Structure 1
Amino acid sequence: MAPRRCPCGTGLTYAECCGRLHEGGGAATAEQLMRSRYSAFAVGDAAHLLATWHPDTRPGSLDLDPAVRWTGLEVLATTGGAMLATEGTVEFRASYVDGGGRRGAQHEDSRFVRVGGRWLYLDGVALP
Protein backbone atom coordinates (compact mmCIF):
# COMPACT_ATOMS: atom_id res chain seq x y z
CA MET A 1 0.00 0.00 0.00
CA ALA A 2 1.42 3.38 -1.03
CA PRO A 3 1.70 6.12 1.61
CA ARG A 4 -1.22 8.53 1.46
CA ARG A 5 -0.72 11.89 -0.20
CA CYS A 6 -0.97 15.02 1.91
CA PRO A 7 -4.43 16.65 1.75
CA CYS A 8 -2.83 20.09 1.16
CA GLY A 9 -1.99 19.18 -2.43
CA THR A 10 1.81 19.47 -2.52
CA GLY A 11 2.14 15.95 -3.94
CA LEU A 12 4.26 14.85 -0.97
CA THR A 13 3.14 12.15 1.41
CA TYR A 14 1.27 13.22 4.53
CA ALA A 15 4.25 12.14 6.70
CA GLU A 16 6.72 14.19 4.61
CA CYS A 17 4.51 17.27 4.52
CA CYS A 18 1.85 18.34 7.01
CA GLY A 19 2.04 15.22 9.18
CA ARG A 20 5.37 16.34 10.64
CA LEU A 21 3.86 19.74 11.46
CA HIS A 22 0.84 18.09 13.08
CA GLU A 23 3.30 16.23 15.30
CA GLY A 24 4.78 19.50 16.56
CA GLY A 25 7.23 20.61 13.88
CA GLY A 26 7.35 24.28 13.04
CA ALA A 27 6.31 25.77 9.70
CA ALA A 28 9.05 27.61 7.79
CA THR A 29 6.63 29.97 6.01
CA ALA A 30 3.13 31.36 6.40
CA GLU A 31 1.97 29.32 3.39
CA GLN A 32 3.34 26.13 4.91
CA LEU A 33 1.42 26.84 8.12
CA MET A 34 -1.75 27.59 6.16
CA ARG A 35 -1.39 24.28 4.26
CA SER A 36 -0.89 22.42 7.55
CA ARG A 37 -4.02 24.05 8.97
CA TYR A 38 -6.05 23.01 5.90
CA SER A 39 -4.73 19.45 6.32
CA ALA A 40 -5.66 19.58 10.01
CA PHE A 41 -9.25 20.31 9.00
CA ALA A 42 -9.08 17.45 6.48
CA VAL A 43 -7.80 14.90 9.01
CA GLY A 44 -9.76 16.24 12.00
CA ASP A 45 -6.80 17.53 14.03
CA ALA A 46 -8.38 20.30 16.14
CA ALA A 47 -5.36 20.31 18.49
CA HIS A 48 -3.06 21.48 15.67
CA LEU A 49 -5.50 24.21 14.70
CA LEU A 50 -5.66 25.53 18.26
CA ALA A 51 -1.88 25.23 18.78
CA THR A 52 -1.18 27.31 15.66
CA TRP A 53 -3.79 30.01 16.38
CA HIS A 54 -2.57 33.33 17.81
CA PRO A 55 -3.59 33.58 21.50
CA ASP A 56 -5.27 36.98 20.92
CA THR A 57 -7.79 35.50 18.47
CA ARG A 58 -7.84 31.77 19.36
CA PRO A 59 -11.21 30.37 20.46
CA GLY A 60 -11.43 28.50 23.76
CA SER A 61 -12.34 25.29 21.95
CA LEU A 62 -12.94 24.05 18.44
CA ASP A 63 -15.46 21.43 17.33
CA LEU A 64 -14.84 20.14 13.82
CA ASP A 65 -17.82 18.77 11.89
CA PRO A 66 -16.95 15.15 11.00
CA ALA A 67 -19.60 15.20 8.24
CA VAL A 68 -17.64 17.83 6.26
CA ARG A 69 -15.14 16.31 3.83
CA TRP A 70 -12.42 18.70 2.63
CA THR A 71 -11.68 17.91 -1.02
CA GLY A 72 -9.03 20.34 -2.26
CA LEU A 73 -6.91 23.40 -1.63
CA GLU A 74 -5.86 26.15 -4.02
CA VAL A 75 -3.34 28.75 -2.87
CA LEU A 76 -4.25 31.83 -4.90
CA ALA A 77 -1.78 34.47 -3.61
CA THR A 78 0.77 35.12 -0.89
CA THR A 79 2.33 38.31 0.44
CA GLY A 80 5.26 38.29 2.85
CA GLY A 81 5.35 35.18 4.99
CA ALA A 82 8.81 34.03 3.88
CA MET A 83 11.31 32.29 6.13
CA LEU A 84 12.73 35.55 7.54
CA ALA A 85 9.52 37.62 7.52
CA THR A 86 7.46 38.48 10.59
CA GLU A 87 4.05 38.65 8.91
CA GLY A 88 2.31 37.46 5.80
CA THR A 89 -1.00 36.74 4.13
CA VAL A 90 -2.23 33.74 2.15
CA GLU A 91 -5.30 33.86 -0.05
CA PHE A 92 -6.76 30.41 -0.60
CA ARG A 93 -9.85 28.52 -1.67
CA ALA A 94 -10.64 25.29 0.18
CA SER A 95 -13.29 23.03 -1.34
CA TYR A 96 -15.53 20.73 0.67
CA VAL A 97 -18.60 18.51 0.59
CA ASP A 98 -20.95 18.95 3.54
CA GLY A 99 -22.93 16.25 5.33
CA GLY A 100 -25.82 16.68 2.90
CA GLY A 101 -23.61 16.11 -0.14
CA ARG A 102 -23.56 19.78 -1.14
CA ARG A 103 -20.32 21.16 -2.55
CA GLY A 104 -18.93 24.45 -1.32
CA ALA A 105 -15.74 26.42 -0.86
CA GLN A 106 -14.17 28.64 1.74
CA HIS A 107 -12.35 31.54 0.07
CA GLU A 108 -10.27 33.51 2.56
CA ASP A 109 -7.36 35.91 2.87
CA SER A 110 -5.62 34.77 6.07
CA ARG A 111 -3.14 36.79 8.12
CA PHE A 112 -0.17 35.14 9.82
CA VAL A 113 2.42 36.51 12.25
CA ARG A 114 5.66 35.10 13.60
CA VAL A 115 5.79 35.05 17.40
CA GLY A 116 8.83 33.71 19.21
CA GLY A 117 10.10 32.20 15.95
CA ARG A 118 6.82 30.35 15.23
CA TRP A 119 4.25 31.18 12.56
CA LEU A 120 0.71 31.58 13.94
CA TYR A 121 -2.65 32.15 12.28
CA LEU A 122 -3.98 35.56 13.37
CA ASP A 123 -7.26 35.95 11.49
CA GLY A 124 -8.84 35.90 8.08
CA VAL A 125 -11.23 37.80 5.86
CA ALA A 126 -13.84 35.77 3.99
CA LEU A 127 -13.90 36.57 0.28
CA PRO A 128 -16.70 36.00 -2.22
Structure 2
Amino acid sequence: MPQAYADCCGRWHARHAADGQRAAPTAEALMRSRYAAYVLGRHDYLLATWHPSTRPATLAPDPPGLRWLGLEVRAHRVQDPTHATVEFVARSKLGGRAQRMHETSRFVREDGAWTYLDGETR
Protein backbone atom coordinates (compact mmCIF):
# COMPACT_ATOMS: atom_id res chain seq x y z
CA MET A 1 0.00 0.00 0.00
CA PRO A 2 1.41 3.43 -0.93
CA GLN A 3 2.54 5.60 1.95
CA ALA A 4 1.97 9.32 2.27
CA TYR A 5 4.98 11.42 1.25
CA ALA A 6 5.55 12.64 4.83
CA ASP A 7 5.63 9.06 6.15
CA CYS A 8 7.79 7.60 3.40
CA CYS A 9 10.26 10.03 1.90
CA GLY A 10 9.39 13.47 3.17
CA ARG A 11 10.99 12.81 6.52
CA TRP A 12 14.32 11.92 4.88
CA HIS A 13 14.17 14.99 2.64
CA ALA A 14 13.29 17.19 5.64
CA ARG A 15 16.06 15.77 7.78
CA HIS A 16 18.57 16.34 5.00
CA ALA A 17 17.36 19.93 4.52
CA ALA A 18 17.56 20.57 8.27
CA ASP A 19 20.98 19.14 9.07
CA GLY A 20 22.50 17.65 5.92
CA GLN A 21 22.13 14.08 7.18
CA ARG A 22 21.40 11.12 4.92
CA ALA A 23 19.11 9.30 7.30
CA ALA A 24 17.33 6.62 5.26
CA PRO A 25 17.74 3.45 7.35
CA THR A 26 17.89 0.96 4.44
CA ALA A 27 18.95 0.94 0.81
CA GLU A 28 15.31 0.46 -0.18
CA ALA A 29 14.20 3.50 1.85
CA LEU A 30 16.97 5.52 0.24
CA MET A 31 15.92 4.32 -3.22
CA ARG A 32 12.32 5.37 -2.58
CA SER A 33 13.42 8.76 -1.24
CA ARG A 34 15.64 9.29 -4.29
CA TYR A 35 12.74 8.50 -6.63
CA ALA A 36 10.62 11.08 -4.77
CA ALA A 37 13.51 13.55 -5.06
CA TYR A 38 13.53 13.05 -8.84
CA VAL A 39 9.77 13.66 -8.93
CA LEU A 40 10.17 16.85 -6.88
CA GLY A 41 13.33 18.09 -8.60
CA ARG A 42 15.34 17.86 -5.36
CA HIS A 43 18.78 17.68 -6.98
CA ASP A 44 20.43 18.72 -3.71
CA TYR A 45 19.15 15.53 -2.08
CA LEU A 46 20.07 13.35 -5.06
CA LEU A 47 23.65 14.63 -5.10
CA ALA A 48 23.99 14.38 -1.31
CA THR A 49 22.88 10.73 -1.34
CA TRP A 50 25.15 9.77 -4.27
CA HIS A 51 28.44 8.10 -3.36
CA PRO A 52 31.34 10.55 -3.89
CA SER A 53 33.24 8.08 -6.11
CA THR A 54 30.49 8.07 -8.76
CA ARG A 55 28.59 11.33 -8.09
CA PRO A 56 28.33 13.74 -11.03
CA ALA A 57 29.20 17.40 -10.48
CA THR A 58 25.66 18.48 -11.40
CA LEU A 59 22.37 17.04 -12.60
CA ALA A 60 20.48 18.35 -15.59
CA PRO A 61 16.85 19.27 -15.01
CA ASP A 62 14.20 16.89 -16.30
CA PRO A 63 12.97 17.64 -19.82
CA PRO A 64 9.94 19.99 -19.84
CA GLY A 65 6.72 18.03 -19.64
CA LEU A 66 8.18 14.91 -18.05
CA ARG A 67 5.69 13.36 -15.62
CA TRP A 68 6.73 10.66 -13.19
CA LEU A 69 3.94 8.08 -12.87
CA GLY A 70 5.11 5.55 -10.32
CA LEU A 71 7.71 3.34 -8.77
CA GLU A 72 7.65 -0.41 -8.32
CA VAL A 73 10.36 -1.90 -6.12
CA ARG A 74 10.84 -5.47 -7.30
CA ALA A 75 13.61 -6.62 -4.97
CA HIS A 76 15.77 -5.42 -2.09
CA ARG A 77 18.78 -7.60 -1.41
CA VAL A 78 21.26 -7.05 1.41
CA GLN A 79 24.62 -8.66 0.64
CA ASP A 80 26.19 -7.66 3.97
CA PRO A 81 25.85 -4.78 6.47
CA THR A 82 27.43 -2.31 4.03
CA HIS A 83 26.23 -3.45 0.57
CA ALA A 84 22.77 -3.83 -0.91
CA THR A 85 20.93 -3.75 -4.22
CA VAL A 86 17.46 -2.55 -5.12
CA GLU A 87 15.74 -3.59 -8.34
CA PHE A 88 13.01 -1.22 -9.45
CA VAL A 89 10.91 0.00 -12.35
CA ALA A 90 10.14 3.72 -12.56
CA ARG A 91 7.46 4.82 -15.00
CA SER A 92 7.17 8.22 -16.64
CA LYS A 93 5.52 9.98 -19.55
CA LEU A 94 7.03 12.54 -21.89
CA GLY A 95 5.29 14.07 -24.87
CA GLY A 96 2.43 11.59 -24.60
CA ARG A 97 4.80 8.60 -24.71
CA ALA A 98 5.09 6.21 -21.81
CA GLN A 99 8.58 5.28 -20.66
CA ARG A 100 9.98 2.92 -18.08
CA MET A 101 13.34 2.61 -16.45
CA HIS A 102 14.23 -0.82 -15.10
CA GLU A 103 17.37 -0.72 -12.98
CA THR A 104 19.22 -2.70 -10.37
CA SER A 105 20.94 -0.10 -8.21
CA ARG A 106 23.90 -0.73 -5.93
CA PHE A 107 24.14 0.98 -2.56
CA VAL A 108 26.92 1.19 0.01
CA ARG A 109 26.75 2.12 3.67
CA GLU A 110 29.57 4.20 5.13
CA ASP A 111 29.63 5.88 8.52
CA GLY A 112 26.07 4.63 9.08
CA ALA A 113 24.67 6.29 5.95
CA TRP A 114 23.47 4.56 2.77
CA THR A 115 24.46 6.12 -0.55
CA TYR A 116 23.66 5.27 -4.16
CA LEU A 117 26.74 3.90 -5.92
CA ASP A 118 25.60 3.01 -9.43
CA GLY A 119 23.07 0.97 -11.37
CA GLU A 120 22.59 -1.35 -14.28
CA THR A 121 19.62 -0.60 -16.51
CA ARG A 122 17.75 -3.11 -18.64
TM-score by length of 1: 0.84
Name the CA distance, whole Å, in 2 between partners of 1:13 and 1:44.
Answer: 18
- Residue type of the alignment partner of 2:54: T
Question: How many pairs are equivalent?
Answer: 115
Give 1:18 shift.
0.4
Give the structure 2 partner of residue 119 of structure 1: 114
Whether the 8 Å CA contact 1:75–1:92 is kept in 2: the answer is: yes
Give 1:47 shift.
0.7
- Which stretches in structure 2 are left out of the alignment for 5+ residues? 17-21
SS class of match (1:58):
coil
Give 1:19 shift.
0.8
Tell me how large the CA RMSD over aligned residues is.
1.5
Name the CA distance, whole Å, in 2 between partners of 1:47 and 1:76.
Answer: 26
Q: Mean alpha-carbon deviation: is it higher for 14-23 or for 31-40?
A: 14-23
Give 1:13 shift.
1.6
Cα deviations across residues 64-95 of structure 1 (Å, max 9, x unaligned)? 214211101111112107xx821100000000
Give 1:107 shift.
0.3
Hey, which of these two has a bigger chunk of helix by percent? 2
Name the CA distance, whole Å, in 2 between partners of 1:101 and 1:35.
Answer: 25
- Residue type of the alignment partner of 1:78: H
- Residue type of the alignment partner of 1:38: Y
- Which stretches in structure 1 are left out of the alignment for 5+ residues? 1-9
Q: Mean alpha-carbon deviation: is it higher for 62-71 or for 32-41?
A: 62-71
Percent sequence identity over aligned pairs: 53
Whether the 8 Å CA contact 1:74–1:93 is kept in 2: the answer is: yes
Q: How does 1:93-108 map to 2 (within 5 A)?
A: 93-98=89-94, 100-108=95-103
Hey, which of these two has a bigger chunk of strand by percent? 2
Give 1:111 shift.
0.1
Whether the 8 Å CA contact 1:41–1:64 is kept in 2: the answer is: no
TM-score by length of 2: 0.88
Name the CA distance, whole Å, in 2 between partners of 1:114 and 1:55.
Answer: 12
Name the CA distance, whole Å, in 1 between partners of 2:114 and 2:36.
Answer: 16
- Residue type of the alignment partner of 1:33: L
Give 1:16 shift.
1.8
